[in-house]
Every structure is written in C-alpha cells, then in structure tokens.
Amino acid sequence: MGAIFKREFKSYFTSPIGFAILVITYLISGFFFFMDFSNGSPEMPNVFSFMFIIILIIVPILTMRLFSEDKRQKTDQLLLTAPVKLTSVVLGKFFAAFSVFAMATGIVLVYQILVAFYISPDWMVFFGNLLGTFLFGGA
C-alpha cells in the first residue's frame, strides 16, 4: 500500500493536475479570504461556502483518474497480479488523493491562524476534514 500511495501521489505532481488544483484553490480562496478579512468577520463565511463548492469540483478531478487510468493503460494487471491485497490498492490510492485534497483545503488552516485573535481553529478544521472525507466517500 505504501508503494502505491507514493506512486500515485508523485504522479499527481509529475503531471500538471496536482499543481493546477492547488494553485486554483489557493488563488480563489485567497481572494475570498481577503474579502472576508476586510469585512472583519472571524467566521469567514465566504471562504467556507466557496470551499464547499471547490471541493465538489476538485474531488472528482482528483479521483476520477485513479482507477480509469490504470484500466486504460492496463497497469491494473500489474496491481492485481501482484501479491498485494485489493484493499491495500484501494487505500493507497485513496490516501494519495486525500493528501492532495488535504493540501488544497489546508489553506483554510492558514487563514485561521491569521485570524487567530477570535476563534480557535479546531472546530473549523474538523468541519473541513469531515466534509472532505464525507465528499470523498461519496465520490
């Protein structure tokens, strides 16, 4: 599973897809953060509603390639004839995608630190993580 995780994670960054997703997320959410910050609201409502939408979009982009690429290039034959449990294969891929996802949504944590005057970040990060896992599970 570790081997698969490493490989898939790397492949997100050898192709433009990993960088593209991160950059777009950071840019746009940064913009919304700026809006929120200038309004002075500690809960950052705009950022989070935007995050929600962004997640809906990037999760499928991250995950749809995972198995279909393998099927198309017939590399699934390698994975399925290797002495590794199917569960490991699935988990390895899941964690790779989730890591990239976490990197994208983790920007929220950064914002929260910047606003650290008022609310401790715990429940929001928890919310973001939970949401991510929930959506990924759905995907």
Partner 1 sequence: MIEVKNLVKLYGNNMAVKNISFTINDGEIVGFLGPNGAGKSTTMNIITGYLSATSGSVNVNGYDILEQPEEAKRHIGYLPEQPPLYLDMTVKEYLNFVYDLKKTKLPRGPHLKEIVQLVKIGHVYNRLIRNLSKGYRQRVGIAQALIGNPDVLILDEPTVGLDPQQIIEIRNLISQLGRNHTVILSSHILSEIQAVCERVIIINQGHQIADETATQLSSRLSEDHSVMVRMIAPPREAKAMLESLPGVVGVQVVGLHQNATEFKVDPGAGQDVSRAIAERALSKRWPITSLYSQELTLEDIYIRMVQEDPAKLDINAVDDLKEELPTEEPAAETVQPANDADATQQEGQE
Distance CA 63, CA 56 (A): 12
- Rank residues 85 and 119 by Cβ distance to partner 1 and give the closer one: 85
- Distance of closest approach, residue 94 Cβ to partner 1, in angstroms: 17
Query: In sequence order, which residues have a C-beta less than 8 Å from that of residue 84 and are 6 or more positions away?
Result: 1, 4
| Closest approach of partner 1 to the CB of residue 127, in Å | 35
Minimum CB–partner distance for residue 100 and partner 1 (Å): 16
Instruction: Look up residue 30 and give its two tokens.
Output: 């940064």
The type of residue at 68 is S
- Residue 67 CB, nearest approach to partner 1 (Å): 14
Site string for partner 1, 12-41 (x = CB under 8 A): --xx--------------------------
Shortest reach from residue 138's CB to partner 1, in Å: 28
DSSP assignment of 51-101 equals HHHHHHHHHHHHHHHHHHHHHHHTTHHHHHTSSS-HHHHHHHHHHHHHHHH
Q: Which residue is associated with the tokens 């008022």? A: 118
Q: What's the one-letter identity of residue 46?
A: N
Applying CB under 8 A, the site for partner 1 has a residue count of 22
Binding track over 69-108 against partner 1, x by CB under 8 A: ----xxxxxxxxxxxxx-----------------------
Which parts of this chain interact with partner 1 (CB under 8 A)?
Answer: 2-4, 6-7, 10-11, 14-15, 73-85
